[in-house]
Chain A
Amino acid sequence: MPILKSEWLSRMDYGQAWELQKKLVKEIDREERSDTLLLLEHSPTYTIGSDRHPEHLLYSKEELARRGISLYEIDRGGDITYHGPGQLVGYPLLYLDAVGLDLHQYLRNLEEVIIKLLADFGIVGDRKPEYTGVWVGDLKIAAIGVKFNKARTRRGFVTSHGFALNVKKNVEQDGFQGIIPCGITEYGIASLEMLTGTELQVEAIGQQILPYFTEVFGYSIPIASESLNSLAKLKQA
């Protein structure tokens, strides 16, 4: 079974993490690195994906600056979403062979990982056929948006971007009120803390999700590499 390197990067600025993703995608493409799952938390950020709908951002530039929220237009699928403290962000950077590759199945697999994690807390996560992501009733708890980067040296793709799971209960108040998440007006946002009523740590949830990720995507046990951790620390210093 292939090896998955996983990494807890703690708090990282969105732009920095995006650059790191691009660098690692290239390394995986050149077979210099095994498939990697980055787990982290972002500083407050709005990101707008390929389906650009600026009208789904409710704040003005001035208001964003006042609240200290960054804004990025990025290369993943999907509309606008919020990232911030209290949210577990997962970036699976995986090489997928072109043969038998189903882009949408990959989204379903990411949803499956989160649904399995929610089951640990006695929460029934669900899919909405028309909206990618994981839902609890009519509340969205995890957003998903990915990019398939064509491998330069092989025939398959390397994935980037991924999922964002709301853990702390302040997430929905902090960020999501400034946007219409993914342009979906009729549904709200949920977090793990809100649903369980207990206090949770983002890093611990990251640890807890790993076995489900390796199970769904068929990896042997994940290994943590020190190199990236030190890299992340270096960048923060």
Chain B
Amino acid sequence: MAKQIIEITMPQLAESLVSATIERWLKEPGDSIDMYEPICELITDKVNAELPSTVRGKLVKHLVGVGETVGIGAAICLVEVEATGATDNVANPVIQQSEAAEQPSSPSTSRPQLAGAGSGGATIDANAPMRNRYSPAVQKLAADNGIDLNRVPGTGEGGRITRKDVLAAVAAGAATFGTSSNGVASIPVSAPMDPKTQVRSSGMHLSESPRIPSVETQAQEAPGRGEYFIDITPVRNTIATKMRQSVSEIPHGWMMIEVDVTDLVLLRNKLKGEFQNREGINLTYMPFLIKAAVNAIKDYPIMNSVWAVDKIIVKRDINISLSVGTEDSVVTPVIRNADQKNIAGIAHEIDDLARRTREKKLKLDDIQGGTFTVNNTGSFGSILTQPIINYPQAAILTFESIVKRPVVINDMIGVRSMVNLCLSLDHRILDGVICGRFLQRVKENLESYNSDTKLY
């Protein structure tokens, strides 16, 4: 893998800030650092602030010691990063002078001219625009032959390294262009999700901003191989076992119904501010959906049952399991006796369960005894799901993303807020007729919300 040395500079943390002092280093040379991870603590005036990294990589060297004060734009440390096109946008490669440091007013610390990977006899213009854009073929060829692309002069457009350049480097011998490290390297791999990326722009959510999983795992990677391995965690294993059991034992059937929730959207918009002020939690669509589903279950109790080979056990208590995703798993905590709670009460339970799930503070009681599962799949923008039943329950209902769509009403086209509800059913217990009626009832309940609906 090609490496690149980047310097992190003192940012302009306040308009009136001219310099800041390093209070202490939180990262030492050799430590790997993640994007936005604090690398040191700064002090300025009455402020103590953690300085986030602007790159992901490995800290190479501190340029400023503890207790030293440096000006804005001065380099404070060096970080080794993977040389990919993306990093060019977020930081200054050390070979380029950063703009701030060039201003005469900013006192700049001495700038060690890092030859680093650049020495190899060949002339390399690191500023060439295409310099660090490698094609997959070039990367593979380089990896197969142990060539460090940082050391290869590029003859392509904009200084880009071509296959021919790599082949020339191979011919010239690995001694000149070889990578220093061989064998298996352990590198942190993260899911390809940028925290800055907006995941979606519409749909309902359990929390206003759904957490974006950032699965960090130690992966084993061999150079040139297109795969790596992740160890199975106990929770992953449990999920796998339950899912396999559900899919192999329960003959799943699927149904979807489309619901006009325009009035519900208006109702929630009307109430959410006051609700937030009064209750201190977000009013999401979830409690409305659960209330609608629970009332429909009361009309069709068979939805709330379990297959027991020689009989069907219909549960009297309506305990709604709620799918809550965490960083790397999914848990289904339970809202007990949901039929006895009003919308505000359900909202509080959802908030409490979701929070405790993420804090990993659920008790065994919280996850047992569910009789019907509701999943808020729409929070990631999905409009259709085929969920797997939460074994041994009889059915699972998803609430997809609410989207505005043109809808024909009385032979006229109107803009309405529409949502899909998807139901997976245990076909040993339930058939199309009963599920169709059930979904129809949930739809009626959801469409009957209006500005007069009471939360309490």
Contacts and interface: CB of A to CB of B under 8 A. Distances in A.
Interface of A: 3, 5, 30-32, 34, 49-51, 75-78, 98, 101-107, 132-133, 144-155, 157, 220-221, 223, 225
Interface residues of B, number: 33
A157 B49 contact: yes
Contacts of A132: 45-46
B280 A34 contact: yes
Nearest to A146: B47
B180 interface: no
Contacts of A3: 276-277, 280
B189 interface: no
A75 B49 CA distance: 9
Contacts of A49: 46, 48
Contacts of B17: 103-104
A153 B13 contact: no
A3 B52 CA distance: 26
A105 B14 contact: yes
Interface in B360-403: none
Contacts of A78: 46
A50 B48 contact: yes
B48 A147 contact: yes
A151 B52 CA distance: 9
Smallest CB-CB A-B distances: 7 pairs = A148-B49, A104-B14, A150-B50, A150-B38, A77-B46, A132-B46, A50-B43
Contact of B46 (A98, A145, A152): A145
B350 to A, nearest CB: 14
Contacts of B195: 153-155
Given A31-B211, A150-B36, A102 B46 contact: no
8 contacts: A5-B280, A50-B23, A51-B43, A104-B14, A132-B45, A148-B49, A220-B273, A225-B280
B51 A103 contact: no
Nearest to B39: A150
Contacts of B15: 102, 104-105
Contact of A75 (B48, B276, B355, B358): B48
Contact of A150 (B43, B52, B273, B355): B52
A155 B36 contact: yes
A103 B277 contact: no
Interface of B: 13-17, 23, 36-38, 41, 43-52, 195-196, 207, 209, 211, 273, 276-278, 280, 355, 358-359
Contact of A220 (B49, B209, B277): B277
A77 B48 CA distance: 5
B47 A103 contact: yes
Nearest to B34: A152
Contacts of B359: 32
A147 B47 contact: yes
A221 B274 CA distance: 11
A220 B280 CA distance: 12
Given A49-B46, A104-B15, 17 more contacts: A3-B280, A5-B280, A34-B280, A49-B48, A50-B41, A77-B45, A77-B47, A102-B14, A102-B16, A105-B15, A146-B47, A147-B47, A148-B49, A149-B50, A150-B52, A153-B195, A220-B273
Nearest to A107: B46
Contacts of B280: 3, 5, 34, 223, 225
A148 B14 CA distance: 12
A99 to B, nearest CB: 11
Contacts of A102: 13-16
Contacts of B13: 101-103
A103 B49 contact: yes
A77 B42 CA distance: 9
Contact of B47 (A107, A150, A225): A107
Contacts of A149: 50
A76 B48 CA distance: 5
A110 to B, nearest CB: 9
A237 B38 CA distance: 36
A103 B52 contact: no
B205 to A, nearest CB: 12
Interface centre among B37, B48, B276 (most CB of A within 10 A): B48
A104 B47 contact: yes
Given A102-B14, A105-B15, A146 B46 contact: yes
Contacts of B48: 49-50, 75-77, 145-148
A233 to B, nearest CB: 18
For A103, A105, A148, A152, the residue with the greatest tally of chain B CB atoms inside 10 Å of its CB is A103
B456 to A, nearest CB: 18
Contacts of A106: 47
Contacts of A103: 13-14, 17, 44-45, 47, 49
Nearest to A2: B276
Contact of A77 (B44, B51, B52, B276): B44
A107 B45 contact: yes
A106 B44 CA distance: 13
Contacts of B38: 150
Contacts of A145: 46, 48
B50 A148 contact: yes
Nearest to B207: A31
A150 B277 contact: no
Nearest to B196: A155
Contacts of B278: 223
B36 A147 contact: no
A153 B195 CA distance: 8
B308 to A, nearest CB: 39
A104 B207 CA distance: 32
B27 to A, nearest CB: 12
B46 A155 contact: no
Contacts of B36: 150-151, 155
Nearest to B212: A153
| Most chain A beta carbons < 10 A, residue from B36, B37, B195 | B36
A127 to B, nearest CB: 12
Nearest to B209: A31
